[in-house]
Amino acid sequence: MKMLKLKKLNEPEFDELFAMISDLKDFLAEDAELNSRKWNKNLNTILDFQDPDGGFKLLDMDSMPFEAKIDFCFTPTYICSAVLMKAFMTDSEAFTMKEKSALSKGLEMSCIINLKGHGYEALKGQIEAINIFMKAGVKEFLDLHPDLCPKFSEMMANIISKFQNMESEGNFLGPWNESYEEDIKSINEYFCQRQVFVYGTLMSGEANHRYLENAAFLGKAVIEGYDMYSVGWYPAVVSGDGLIIGEVYRVPLQDMPSIDMLEGEGSLYIKKCVSIKDGEGNTTFAFLYVYLRDCSDLKRIASWKDDHVWYVSYGSNMLDERFLCYIKGGSYGESSYRRPCSDTTPPLAVRTLEIPYAMYFGNSSGSWEGCGVSFLDTTKNGKALGVAYLITKRQFDHVVAQENGGTPPHESWGWYTDIIDLATLEGIGVKTLTNSDLRPYNEPCEEYLDTLRMGIRKNWPEMSDEEIEDYLDSCIR
């Protein structure tokens, strides 16, 4: 993450001005990591840069062309206000009064010219400004916090109404007869739908899934910072320290009231906006229904559908590029081709952990120059580095087969014949593979070691090269 350096210029140094604009846009594209020191430092840089009137101008001249005001006064105000909005939507309860005031003032200043561009580019500028706020979760913000800046909420409602009228009339032309059809339709689609994260009876195959018959399934996803409990025939989710597996849907706005009514929104559950991460690692916002009642007497559960498991790798699959060949199919480097799983969804989450056994190298692998590969010695306590992938049980069965030549292992066949249970992680079972019978020792080839090094560096960035080498040396007999 690049650290922001913002300053007001008295003369138009264009390279510097556009560089600051670019850095701000890059920061807006980052996930809002409120627990990250670097991320918070950039957020504070923006807060400290705000003008008393609420703006975030980069160019401060007595007189300047209106076009320059849009580029270097209003545009940075939109971006900085959007950053504050994104942080607020990620965790509104963590926002101080000072930060909330800064957001409100920034949004009010964003209303000065109705988000429009200069002259004949008025509509183009408005579209570009709306897209900036779309990156910050503006539709969820308007739903949940319309009173934080009523002027901004009213302005956005008017612009949305105008764009919807343009689409209904088939009028997408600007002053030069240029067409904005694709942009306007995209914005209208964004505002007429809501993303919802479901984790219980609204999920596919469950009793209330019919409420989502008009919704588009976007995929499986996880949220962090919540725990799940069983109320009986439905689950309850409350703030906590766990991980929740669910499904994400794009729901037509007109269907949201019926879902709110089903969930008892406002009495049994409250609708919150949360940051979710899908299997591709993309982060976005979605509505989550959070339980309002006491859960102290309820049983905590890992998930409503018990169909996921943590698979832990301690060898070459610590490098995600190689492991994904097991899921999506393909080969890594010179290694053998792996056929894809019937479910090619990437892991929903990745964690690092220590396996309480020693790791060693054994057997003779044709994929690795006839040299040794990683196994666990379950007869010895140790601290093997492991990377846990949250995958479905069907995917786990596929991985087990792939690790044994493409077929499930049995007593007389297979390298990794034993599945080892490693307790639970965030309430979900943790499993890894090895062979309980010690394999003939065989040193690994340099390419295999390089793959392990890359996997360790990627997952344990705090480890030095020397510490990595010490760990690998400790695995050599």
Three-class DSSP labels, 426-448: CCEEEEEEECCCCCCECCCCHHH
Task: Give the span between the Cα atoms of 23 and 349, in whole angstroms.
Answer: 29
Residue 204 CA, distance from chain mean position: 22
Residue 437 CA: distances (Å) to CA of 139, 156, 186, 403, 413? 58, 67, 59, 16, 13
- In a shared domain, residues 164 and 211: no
Same domain, 404 and 435: yes
How much is the pLDDT for 167?
Answer: 96
What per-residue confidence (pLDDT) applies to 121? 93
Please say if the pLDDT value at position 451 is more than 70: yes
Q: 241, 240, 389, 220: which is closest to 305 by C-alpha?
A: 220
Q: In this structure, what are the phi and psi dihedrals at residue 264, rounded to the nearest 5 degrees?
A: 60, 45
What pLDDT is stored for residue 411 in this prediction?
62
pLDDT: is 111 or 334 the higher one?
Answer: 111
Tell me which of 351-365, 397-411, 461-475 is least confident: 397-411
Q: Are residues 444 and 316 in the same domain?
A: yes
Partners of residue 434 on adjacent β-strands: 418
Pair 293, 340 in one domain? no
Do 216 and 187 fall into the same domain? no
Please write down the long-range contacts of 200-205, taking CB distance under 8 Å and 24 or more positions apart. Answer: 200/234, 200/235, 200/304, 201/233, 201/234, 201/235, 201/304, 202/259, 202/262, 203/246, 203/247, 203/304, 203/305, 204/247
Its pTM stands at: 0.84
6 within a domain of the structure (yes/no): no
Same domain, 36 and 87: yes
pLDDT at 412: 63
Looking at the domain assignment, is residue 9 inside a domain?
Answer: no
Query: Which of 301, 330, 352 represents a domain boundary (last residue)?
Result: 301
C-alpha distance from residue 439 to each of 267, 374, 464 (Å): 60, 10, 30
239-266 pLDDT, tens per residue? 998 899 999 999 999 999 999 999 999 9
Containing H/E element for 43?
helix 37-49
> What pLDDT sits at residue 312?
98
Residues in a beta bridge with 311? 389, 431
pLDDT band at 289 (very low <50, low <70, confident <90, very high): very high
Closest to 174 (Cα-Cα) out of 120, 219, 137, 125: 120
**Are residues 286 and 317 both part of a single domain?**
no
Q: What is the DSSP letter of 92?
A: G
Position 355 scores a pLDDT of 97
Rounded distance, CA 315 to CA 436, Å? 16
Final residue belonging to a domain, choices 173, 191, 209:
191
Q: What is the pLDDT of the chain when averaged over all its residues?
A: 93
Range of the structural domain that residue 406 is part of: 308-474
pLDDT of 131-165, one tens digit each? Answer: 999 999 999 999 999 999 999 999 999 999 999 99
Q: What is the mean pLDDT of residues 65-82?
A: 95
Residue 134, CA atoms < 13 Å, CB-side half-sphere:
18
Distance CA 343, CA 313 (A): 19
Q: Domain holding 416: CATH number?
A: 3.10.490.10
Judge whether 7 lies within some domain: no
Choosing from 191, 206, 231, the residue where a domain stops is 191
- Residues 272 and 370 grouped into a single domain: no
Position 366 confidence tier, pLDDT thresholds 50, 70, 90: confident
Distances (CA, A) of 428 to 16, 61, 421: 50, 59, 11
* 3-state DSSP percent of the chain in helix, strand and coil, to 5: 40, 25, 35
Q: Where are the alpha helices (DSSP H) in 135-199?
A: 138-144, 150-169, 181-191
Q: Provide mean pLDDT across the span 65-70.
A: 92
Claim to verify: residue 177 and residue 249 sit in the same structural domain: no
Q: Residue 331 has what pLDDT?
A: 86
CB 89 within 8 A of CB 34: no
**DSSP 3-state of 62:** coil
pLDDT in tens, 167-195: 999 999 998 999 999 999 999 999 999 99
pLDDT of 33: 86
Q: Is residue 125 part of a domain?
A: yes
Res 336: pLDDT: 77
Distance CA 351, CA 256 (A): 34
Residues 270 and 143 in one domain: no
The rounded percent of the chain whose pLDDT value lies above 90 is: 82
Q: Is residue 230 part of a domain?
A: yes
Task: List, for residues 76-126, the tens digit of each pLDDT value.
Answer: 999 999 999 999 999 888 899 999 999 999 999 999 999 999 999 999 999
Contact 203, 211 (CB under 8 A): no
Categorize the per-residue pLDDT at 279 as very low, low, confident or very high, splitting at 50, 70 and 90. Answer: low
Provide the CATH number for the domain around residue 53.
1.50.10
Residue 266 phi, psi dihedral angles, 5° rounding: 100, -20
Under the banding of pLDDT at 50, 70 and 90, the label for residue 459 is very high
Do residue 291 and residue 335 come from a single domain?
Answer: no
Among residues 361, 378, 448, 384, which one has the least CA distance to residue 419? Answer: 378
Q: How many separate domains does the chain show?
A: 3
Report the pLDDT value the prediction gives residue 63, as an integer from 0 to 100: 81
Q: Is residue 177 part of a domain?
A: yes
Pair (240, 133) in one structural domain: no
Each residue's pLDDT tens digit, 398-436:
999 999 887 777 766 789 999 999 988 988 999 999 999
User: Is it the case that residue 462 has pLDDT exceeding 70?
Assistant: yes
- C-alpha to C-alpha distance for 290 and 102, rounded to whole angstroms: 28
Tell whether 169 is covered by a domain. Answer: yes
Return the bridge partners of 59, or none.
Answer: 9
Task: Report yes or no on 4 lying in a domain.
Answer: no
CA distance 12 to 115: 22
